Amino acid sequence: MTVRKELLNNIRIVDPYVPGEQPRQKVVKLNTNENPYPPAPEVKAVFDELKEDEFRLYPDPTSGKLIKALADQLKVGEDQIFVGVGSDDVLSLCFLTFFNSEKPILFPDITYSFYQVWANLYRIPYVCPKLDGKFRIVKEDYYKVNGGIIFPNPNAPTAIYEEVDFIEDILRHNRDNIVIIDEAYVDFAGKSAISLIDRYDNLIVTQTFSKSRSMAGMRIGYAVSNPELIRCLNDVKYSFNSYTMSCAAISCGAAALENTEYFKTNISKIVQTRENVKEQLRDLGFECTDSKANFLFVTHPRYDALKLFEELKEAGIYVRHWNDPKIKDYLRITIGTDEEMKIFLDFLKKKIGA
């Protein structure tokens, strides 16, 4: 049955975010920036200890256990943390809560594509300043009048990290605007902008358990800011779903924070593999950005990226490609285990030549 035009006139239509493929067959999966290693052993132990009531009853709407664990680790107050179902949930609520000016918000023209989706969904005007020729954010472009600013650090899909003093400069030039720094990949990069929270009341930093904590399937994200902005976020959350996080996610998230040594070891392994693969790709003629994330952003002057993407997929190796004219010549490659990256590199050596 075809829906009548009169009905469509009052339906909100948006172009949705397109996630990376999730193939169910066994492949070398380097397309969605998941961590190739399992979460800390303490996480698995949680499931053996879950009680019947944790399935039968609603979860704690405040997620207090997880918030306390995060506050202890980050050395901030519990009233400075907001948690949600993955950082996408947290960021979406940030858009809804803080970007309500008639002035356009600012985010880069090449960045996490969900920002544009949320802006369109919530009818938020936006402008996208261009990255420079080396895919770097031009901070002066964010000095103009705006209704708020958001960008990832490291940026996605370019993988480029900016130092904290770069972030602080943008904050200084936007004292009356909310600035959100999306740090989904910061654990693979450098210092977090959380260090600026107590000096800038307009700063919100978001992070996730999906990448460095190996818990993409649990959907845990959080924001860190001052108590007043966190209270505003909670007011919006409680206006549409009080029970966002499951009991299992709350307990698993808290457990994941217990084993700092395991966390650091996994990060170190991924960074070491990233640097090794980056060097081998350059030996094959690829050009790579200076990645500080758990993925690489690469191009080859002699090979069409889309064709290479398709040939890799046919060989059971999944990477990411976008048809966006600005980055159509690039592939994004998640850092997997050394064994997975060897399969990927062996394919390229055979295709391109050692």
CATH number of the domain that 236 lies in?
A: 3.40.640.10
Q: What is the reported pLDDT for 20?
A: 74
143/87 same-domain check: yes
Q: Which of 256, 275, 297 is the last residue of a domain?
A: 256
Place of tokens 């590199």: 345
Q: What is the reported pLDDT for 173?
A: 98
Per the CB < 8 A criterion, the answer to whether 66 and 75 are in contact is no
Q: What is the reported pLDDT for 10?
A: 72
C-alpha 294/C-alpha 10 separation (Å) is 42
C-alpha 49/C-alpha 63 separation (Å) is 18
CATH code: domain of residue 316: 3.90.1150.10
Q: What is the reported pLDDT for 21?
A: 75
60/188 same-domain check: yes
137/269 same-domain check: no
Percent of the chain predicted with pLDDT > 90: 87
C-alpha 194/C-alpha 190 separation (Å) is 12
34/110 same-domain check: no
88/211 same-domain check: yes
Q: What is the reported pLDDT for 5?
A: 75
Chain segment 205-243, per-residue pLDDT in tens = 999 999 999 999 999 999 999 999 999 999 999 998 888
17/48 same-domain check: no
Q: Is the pLDDT of residue 25 over 80?
A: no
Chain segment 74-122, per-residue pLDDT in tens = 999 999 999 999 999 999 999 999 999 999 999 999 999 999 999 999 9
136/201 same-domain check: yes
Dihedral of alpha carbons 280, 283, 287, 291, sign: positive
CB atoms within 10 A of CB 224: 25
C-alpha 35/C-alpha 29 separation (Å) is 11
Identity (one letter) of the amino acid at 45?
Answer: A
Q: What is the reported pLDDT for 150?
A: 98
Q: What is the mean predicted confidence (pLDDT) over 272-291?
A: 97
Q: Which of 237, 256, 275 is the last residue of a domain?
A: 256
pLDDT band for position 321 (cuts 50, 70, 90): very high
Residue 56, CA distances (Å) to 43, 51, 59, 255 in order: 21, 9, 9, 21
73/216 same-domain check: yes
240/216 same-domain check: yes
Q: What is the reported pLDDT for 16?
A: 78
Q: Is the pLDDT of residue 277 over 70?
A: yes
Domain that holds residue 272: 5-38+260-353
C-alpha 225/C-alpha 203 separation (Å) is 6
46/135 same-domain check: yes
pLDDT band for position 354 (cuts 50, 70, 90): low
Q: What is the reported pLDDT for 104?
A: 98
**199 is written with which tokens?**
């000096």
Q: What is the mean predicted confidence (pLDDT) over 37-58?
A: 88
pLDDT band for position 343 (cuts 50, 70, 90): very high
Beta strands 221-224 and 203-208, pairing class: antiparallel
| Alpha helix positions (H), the chain | 5-8, 41-49, 53-56, 64-74, 86-98, 114-121, 164-172, 227-240, 247-256, 260-283, 305-314, 338-352
196/124 same-domain check: yes
19/77 same-domain check: no
C-alpha 24/C-alpha 11 separation (Å) is 34
| Burial letters 239-254, b for 16+ CB under 10 A, else e | eeeeebbbbbbbbbbb
For the chain, the average pLDDT equals: 94
Q: What is the reported pLDDT for 252?
A: 95
Q: Which of 256, 285, 319 is the last residue of a domain?
A: 256
Per the CB < 8 A criterion, the answer to whether 270 and 264 are in contact is no
The tally of domains found in the chain comes to 2
C-alpha 343/C-alpha 337 separation (Å) is 10
